[in-house]
Amino acid sequence: MIQFRGIFALTFLVVGALLAAGCTSSSPAPVTPAGNISVSTILTPPVTINPPTVTPNVTETVEQVTWNTSSENFTSCVPLDIREPEITIDPLPHHYVGDTFTIGGTTNLHPREMITAGIYATEFRPCSIGSCSGGISNTIAVVPGNCNINTWSWVIDTSQYGLRQGYPYVLDVKGRNGLVENSSLFSVWNIPKPNITFNLPENDPNEYAIRFSGQVNTGNGPDEKLLVKISSDSGAKVSYTIPVFLNGTGYYWNFTLKKSEITPYNFYTVNITSLTNPEIGYLNTFMYNNLPEYN
C-alpha cells in the first residue's frame, strides 16, 4: 500500500512538471482591438461617385448645362422658369427695295406664346391725318426648339409693305405685354441692287458669231471682271474672263462668240458671274435662234 501511494505521488509530480513546462497548449483567444470591434468584422463601405451639382447661371444665353466625369457626360436643360425672359434678334443686313427676307431670333418664352413685332421708320415723315400709319406690325407664335431654346420668325416683303429706299428702320419685338423687349436697326438702300443684266443675244451680220451684252452693277466699278461660261447640247464648253466698260448709264459688258466653238447645237446655256462676288450673276438657256428656251 505504501508502494502504491509512492507511485501515484511520483506520477502526479511528473504531470505537474509537464504542465508547468507548457507542453500542453490551447487555442489563443481572438485579438480584440480598441473599441471592442473584432478585426475579422471590419468591412470597407462601397464608394459611390455622384456627378457634381451644377447651379445654372441665370444670365447664361444658352439654357443647357453640361458637366463631365471620367466615365460619362451629363447634360441637363435649364427649366424655362429659371431664367429671366428674353428675346434675341438675328443680325439684320441692309436690304434693297423689292427684297424679301426673314427676320427672327431665339427666345426662352414658352412655345405658342405670342410675340408682337413691329417695323417703324426712324425719321419723321409728315402726312395728313389718317393718311399714314405708324409702321407695320405682326403677331408671331413662338416655335419650340431644342433644349428650351425656342425661335420666332417673320417674312418681310419690302415691296408689299411699302418700305422706302434710303430710310433707316427699327425692328421692335415684345413679349408678355411688354415685360420682355428687344430692338435692332436696318436700312433699305437707295442704290440699285447689285446685278448683271443680259440683253437678248444677236447674230453678227454674217451669221458666224453671236453677240452678248448687258449692264453691270456690282459696286466694283472698272475693277470688276466677269466670268462667262457657255455650253451647248453638243457637249462643247467654253469659258472666258472679260472686262467691263463705262458708258453714259454706268458699266456694261459685251462679248462675241464664234458659233464654230459650240456647233452643232440646238440650244446653248450662258452663265455669267462676277469674279469679285460670285453670288451676282445671270443664267439662261437659249435656242438656236437666240430666243430664250422659256419666255
Give 42-98 as a 3 state SS string.
CCCCCCCCCCCCCCCCCCCCCCEEEEECCCCEEEEECCHHHCCCCECCCCCCCEECC
The answer to whether the predicted template modeling score (pTM) of the entire model surpasses 0.75 is no
| Residue 223 and residue 161 in one domain | no
Set of cell numbers at residue 257: 462668240
Decide if 78 is inside a domain.
Answer: no
| Residue 183 and residue 243 in one domain | no
Q: Count of domains in the chain?
A: 2
Q: What is the pLDDT at residue 121?
A: 83
Decide if 293 is inside a domain.
Answer: no
Decide if 223 is inside a domain.
Answer: yes
The whole-angstrom separation of Cα 85 and Cα 260 is 68
Decide if 36 is inside a domain.
Answer: no
Q: What is the pLDDT at residue 4?
A: 47
Q: What is the pLDDT at residue 76?
A: 58
Decide if 123 is inside a domain.
Answer: yes
| Residue 183 and residue 219 in one domain | no
Domain ranges, residue 278 = 195-287
DSSP reduced 3-state for 227: strand
Q: How far is CA 146 from CA 64, 78, 116, 150, in A?
A: 10, 11, 22, 7
Decide if 127 is inside a domain.
Answer: yes
Q: How far is CA 218 from CA 100, 118, 227, 232, 250, in A?
A: 20, 32, 14, 28, 11
| Residue 265 and residue 235 in one domain | yes
Residue pLDDT tens, the chain, 295 long:
445 455 555 555 555 555 555 544 444 445 444 444 444 444 445 555 554 544 444 434 444 444 444 444 445 566 655 678 999 999 988 887 778 889 999 999 999 999 999 998 876 555 443 345 567 899 999 999 988 899 999 999 887 777 777 778 899 999 999 999 999 998 887 667 788 999 999 998 887 999 999 989 887 888 899 999 999 999 999 999 999 998 876 889 999 999 999 988 999 999 999 998 888 999 999 998 888 875 4
Give Cα 228 to chain centroid, integer Å: 34
Q: What is the pLDDT at residue 162?
A: 74
The whole-angstrom separation of Cα 4 and Cα 13 is 14
Q: What is the pLDDT at residue 59?
A: 38
280: DSSP letter: S
The domain boundary, picked from 125, 155, 189, lies at 189
Decide if 76 is inside a domain.
Answer: no
Decide if 77 is inside a domain.
Answer: no
| Residue 103 and residue 172 in one domain | yes
The domain boundary, picked from 127, 162, 189, lies at 189
Picking from 105, 99, 133, 100, the residue whose alpha carbon sits closest to that of residue 119 is 133
What spatial distance separates the first Cα and last Cα of the chain, rounded to whole Å?
153
| Residue 162 and residue 102 in one domain | yes
* Per-residue H/E/C for 94-158: CEECCCEEEEEEEECCCCCCEEEEEEEECCCCCCCCCCCCCCEEEEEECEEEECCEEEEEEEEEC
CATH of the domain at 270: 2.60.40.10
Q: Is the CB of residue 158 less than 8 Å from the CB of residue 100?
A: yes
The whole-angstrom separation of Cα 165 and Cα 168 is 9
- Count of CA atoms in the C-beta half-sphere (13 A) of 47: 2
| Residue 123 and residue 173 in one domain | yes
| Residue 106 and residue 134 in one domain | yes
DSSP reduced 3-state for 169: strand
| Residue 229 and residue 185 in one domain | no
Set of cell numbers at residue 175: 413679349
The domain boundary, picked from 168, 189, 210, lies at 189
| Residue 169 and residue 217 in one domain | no
| Residue 112 and residue 148 in one domain | yes
Q: What is the pLDDT at residue 61?
A: 40
| Residue 183 and residue 209 in one domain | no
Residues 6+ apart with CB under 8 A from 231: 237, 238, 262, 268, 269
